[in-house]
Structure 1
Amino acid sequence: MLHISELPDARAARNPEGPCIEDDHGQLDNQDFLVRVRNAAAALRGHGIGAGNVVAVILPNRLELVVIMFAAWRLGAAVTPVNPGLTDAEARHQIEDSGATVVIAEGAHALGTLDLAALAEPSGAGRDTPAASAPAPDSLALIIYTSGTTGRPKGVMLDHANVAAMCRMIIDGLGLDESDHSLLVLPLFHVNGIVVSVLSPLLAGGRATVAGRFSASTFFASVERVRPTYFSAVPAIYAMLVALPAEVRPDTSSLRRVICGAAPMPAELIARFEDRFGVPVVEGYGLSEGTCASTLNPPGGPRKPGTVGLPLPGQTVAVMDGEGNLLDDGSAGEVVVRGPNVMRGYLGLPDETARTVVDGWLHTGDVGRFDADGYLVLVDRIKDLIIRGGENIYPKEIENVLHSHPAVLEAAVVGAADPVLGEVPVAHVVPLPGAEVTADELIEHCRGSLARVKVPVTVSLTDALPRNPVGKIDKRRLRA
């Protein structure tokens, strides 16, 4: 398989005028893309960047971010993409923790950065543009910082072998080819956006369009204009699209499938999206520590809403009890993953790495079980478990019941402190636009399907749920 650092050269040689990547500001064919990557690599080398260095990039979703990534890889350097929405203190933590040699941002920045414009200079006649080289498989490609729900964000080290293996699994799992065109709506500081929506379609011979900031009201206009074959999003985005006014009936005929990851998508939400927009939702599961995805509902079927699909070929996904024994009887335990996609470790955190990757198994912190057909069903996060008077309660079970109510768009359940029982479940619910429902009705709805100890003691109706930068519901803020 072609080394990813050589991809710009290979695409330009094969089809110089073929479309490659575009964003809201412009578009590049394969030859343009190669020229931009070469120029950026020359500029980076002029600033002392070489093998083993780290380049930090603080940019919104722009095609320049992709150019810089390939330019750094061309020099044997790694990239750490920084969320442009971070405070200076948060960004400084990532830049210093990653050991970045240079920071690239747009315009002046308080952190003392290299202006993006310095990388976009046209190539002079004698400009020394580095030739493509293939970094060693075990050299660092990306340092992705986790969203930090349990303290300071940690740098997930992904090498070129991780990225190559993951892209091959995504291309095979989704059946991507040169006719595919992805529309990127997720942030490029997250591994899903990088791997599923940019690297995989480009490696498959297809193309990518980088969308700017997501807006539900303008999103389908972009779909109609760009005509992508797929996009990858999180449940929150699908919930916003389902909540659009009934008169919004877009042309979705270019879409072959859409992908959902980052958090489990309720089966009811999948059905609402598919019924309304006529596009199949392919749900998958994975985490940054596994380079992106570990399971996928096969696009060719059967797809099973309520599950996150089958293990991707090339990976082993299993369920383990607290003593480290693998469970194969359909019972629930911690989901563990093994394969060439498992990270090298957390940067500078050997103890944390040793706790997370044990005997080659990546411990995900998720509780799951396999159904009779081998599809993975996620039960919940281990840390989200609520213990009420000694009884274990998984919030996702309650959330699934709430989602089955026709007036519910989104639901999140967390534990609240109780002086007698220790913890009790409380629910936060976003109703569908225009739907009329009361907290008492929803509690009564839960009583019809849940044991008494699992019924939420309160239901709070709200317009929106708090989210982390990747779009997952931020349960830590809900608990607070």
Structure 2
Amino acid sequence: MQPGYLPRVLAQRFGDAPAIRDDATQMSFVELDRKVTAVAAQFRDQGVTRGDVVAVMLPNRSELVVSIFAAWYLGAAATPINPNFTHDEAAHQINDAGAALVVNSSSESPSGGRQTISVDDLRTSGDGTELDPVDLADDDLALVIYTSGSTGRPKGVMITHANTTAMSRTMAETMAMTAEDHCLLVLPLFHANALMVSLLTPLQVGAQLTIMPGFNAQEFYDAVEHLRPTYFSAVPTIYALLLTKAEGRRPDMSSLRFAVCGAAPATRELLAAAEEFFDVPILEGYGLTEATCASSINPIDGPRKPGTVGPALPGQRIRIVDDSLQDVPTGQTGEVLITGPVVMAGYLNMPEATAETIVDGWVRTGDLGRLDEDGYLSIVDRLKDMIIRGGENIYPKEIENAIGSLPGVLEVAVVGRPDDVMGEVPVAFVVPYPDAELTPEAVIDHCREHLTRVKVPVHVEITPELPKNPVGKIDKPGLRASFAA
């Protein structure tokens, strides 16, 4: 099998059409295949073979993509590593994945004893010896993507080529992607969202990809005006920054056809403001790495329901269940379960954790949600984020939605703080828009108007920013840990 996203297949289909660019280079599909072939031969010379894992610890740049594809040409998997990781964090991932080779920004290995190639030493052309990609099986491992580790040590999620094929094809179909599209990639490529929605999906239909090295609002606007992309995918924090960092600028964004919002919940107010500013549909979706990337999304053509993350994507099914994993009636809240061809092969070297997460082919997401009569999913909260105050269940997202409707609120996070009497009580951290005059008292008064007394935060902290994890999600475990400190 040759997956439709392999550069060799793409070169045969799309030839000299533009494929990938970054700050330093631009490649057609033919040039991309040549580069991948050269690097694959280099990896082969270093002993990489079928079934191995190649670790790639690079910031967003074309060589990161080339290295992943080169691993696949040999039948190896890739594990992308956050380039900002500490030595210990990187070593955990490299050693846990059993990486046979590390591609790094320097020749120094983040994990002692591992073969390492500096990005500057990657081959850019072949030695005249042709290398053909191996035939890949559906269950061959493509990626080992590590979770953010909010519940402990990061776990390696094993994604097969069948998973990536199903995910990228579905996204291309859902977003009506064609060779005329152009993705502006702003999310880090060590994350499933960027790999699936921004990399594999556009390339396999012959669309082009521009890789930004990182996110900066003014550089983003410059890129949109100069390069004329048709879509991008981002997290709520980036949308908030784009709205607040415009600094009076009204960039020409008429080339955009749509944008995607995922990886973390967004308030209705933020999405509405973003849609008005960009003047394109913002498609809010939902998914998790254990299901390759996305499992639902508000459709680009069809009803989009604010406050929901849309219906299940084609080929996937979503259930809402109680504590006994029995289906609950439509409209009731329970745990979200997902099944389909995107379900991971499991956690690397963790059979017990795999068995806890995948039950009879269904992924237990750990998220609380409900389905309406049209099958649209609303995420209520993370099961582990639920606050139990005096025996009553409180969903922080409900409080966050209420606070988010207050004018002047840019971002908000609500977490439970230990309490000797009540067990836990809700505390809110609020980031205001620049120049907004927000006070804790105003936030609490607003909550009293919209929430029952037990849900009103006992404390509100106005802060210039919220801590984020590497993917851009609000670091709620960090906020909770601050109480202990």
For 2:54, the equivalent position in structure 1 comes to 55
Deviation, 1:224, is: 1.0
Task: Give the whole-Å Cα distance in 1 for the aligned partners of 2:242 and 2:120.
Answer: 36
Q: Tell me, which stretches of 5 or more residues in structure 1 are unaligned?
A: none
For 2:181, the equivalent position in structure 1 comes to 180
Deviation, 1:134, is: 2.5
Aligned AA (1:102): L
Task: Give the whole-Å Cα distance in 2 for the aligned partners of 1:4 and 1:245.
Answer: 38
Task: Identify the range of structure 1 (380-389 vs 367-376) with the bigger mean alpha-carbon deviation.
Answer: 367-376
Contact 1:88 1:110 (8 Å CA) reproduced: no
Distance 1:299 1:468, change over 3 A: same
Residue 403 of structure 2: SS of its match in structure 1?
A: helix
Contact 1:4 1:164 (8 Å CA) reproduced: yes
For 2:117, the equivalent position in structure 1 comes to 114
For 1:326, the equivalent position in structure 2 comes to 327
Residue 282 of structure 1: SS of its match in structure 2?
A: strand
Deviation, 1:458, is: 0.8
User: Superposed, which structure 2 residues align to 1:118-157 within 5 Å?
Assistant: 118-125=121-128, 128-157=129-158
Deviation, 1:2, is: 5.6
Mapped pair 1:41 → 2:40: yes
Contact 2:2 2:135 (8 Å CA) reproduced: no
Mapped pair 1:372 → 2:373: yes
Task: Identify the range of structure 1 (373-382 vs 270-279) with the bigger mean alpha-carbon deviation.
Answer: 270-279
Task: Give the whole-Å Cα distance in 1 for the aligned partners of 2:103 and 2:48.
Answer: 12
Residue 418 of structure 2: SS of its match in structure 1?
A: strand
Task: Give the whole-Å Cα distance in 1 for the aligned partners of 2:246 and 2:104.
Answer: 38
Task: Give the whole-Å Cα distance in 1 for the aligned partners of 2:306 and 2:242.
Answer: 18
| Offset from partner CA, 1:370-424 (integer Å, 9 cap, x none) | 1232210000000001011111100000000000001101110000111111110
TM-score by length of structure 2 reads 0.96
For 1:77, the equivalent position in structure 2 comes to 76
Contact 1:42 1:130 (8 Å CA) reproduced: yes
Mapped pair 1:31 → 2:30: yes
Contact 2:102 2:109 (8 Å CA) reproduced: no
Q: Tell me, which stretches of 5 or more residues in structure 2 are unaligned?
A: none
Contact 2:145 2:156 (8 Å CA) reproduced: yes
Deviation, 1:304, is: 1.1
Task: Give the whole-Å Cα distance in 1 for the aligned partners of 2:302 and 2:435.
Answer: 34
Deviation, 1:94, is: 0.2
Contact 2:230 2:257 (8 Å CA) reproduced: yes
TM-score by length of structure 1 reads 0.97
Task: Give the whole-Å Cα distance in 2 for the aligned partners of 1:150 and 1:315.
Answer: 26
Mapped pair 1:286 → 2:291: no
Task: Give the whole-Å Cα distance in 2 for the aligned partners of 1:209 and 1:245.
Answer: 21
| Offset from partner CA, 1:28-87 (integer Å, 9 cap, x none) | 011111110110111010001111010000000011111111111111000000100100
Mapped pair 1:414 → 2:415: yes
Aligned AA (1:117): D
For 1:68, the equivalent position in structure 2 comes to 67
Moved over 6 A (4+): none
Task: Give the whole-Å Cα distance in 1 for the aligned partners of 2:314 and 2:329.
Answer: 19
Contact 1:167 1:200 (8 Å CA) reproduced: yes
For 2:252, the equivalent position in structure 1 comes to 251
Deviation, 1:463, is: 0.5
Task: Give the whole-Å Cα distance in 1 for the aligned partners of 2:357 and 2:9.
Answer: 37
Contact 2:104 2:118 (8 Å CA) reproduced: yes
Task: Give the whole-Å Cα distance in 2 for the aligned partners of 1:110 and 1:29.
Answer: 31
Distance 1:302 1:324, change over 3 A: same
Task: Give the whole-Å Cα distance in 2 for the aligned partners of 1:198 and 1:121.
Answer: 21
Give me the identity figure in percent. 54
| Offset from partner CA, 1:264-319 (integer Å, 9 cap, x none) | 11110011111122121001000000000000100012111110001001001110
Residue 232 of structure 2: SS of its match in structure 1?
A: strand
Task: Identify the range of structure 1 (108-117 vs 329-338) with the bigger mean alpha-carbon deviation.
Answer: 108-117
Deviation, 1:194, is: 0.6
Deviation, 1:237, is: 0.2
For 1:22, the equivalent position in structure 2 comes to 21
Task: Give the whole-Å Cα distance in 1 for the aligned partners of 2:377 and 2:127.
Answer: 54
Aligned residues: 477
Task: Identify the range of structure 1 (267-276 vs 446-455) with the bigger mean alpha-carbon deviation.
Answer: 267-276
Contact 1:54 1:101 (8 Å CA) reproduced: yes
Task: Give the whole-Å Cα distance in 2 for the aligned partners of 1:135 and 1:15.
Answer: 21
Please tell me the root mean square deviation across aligned C-alpha atoms, in Å.
Answer: 1.2
For 2:389, the equivalent position in structure 1 comes to 388
Contact 1:16 1:31 (8 Å CA) reproduced: yes
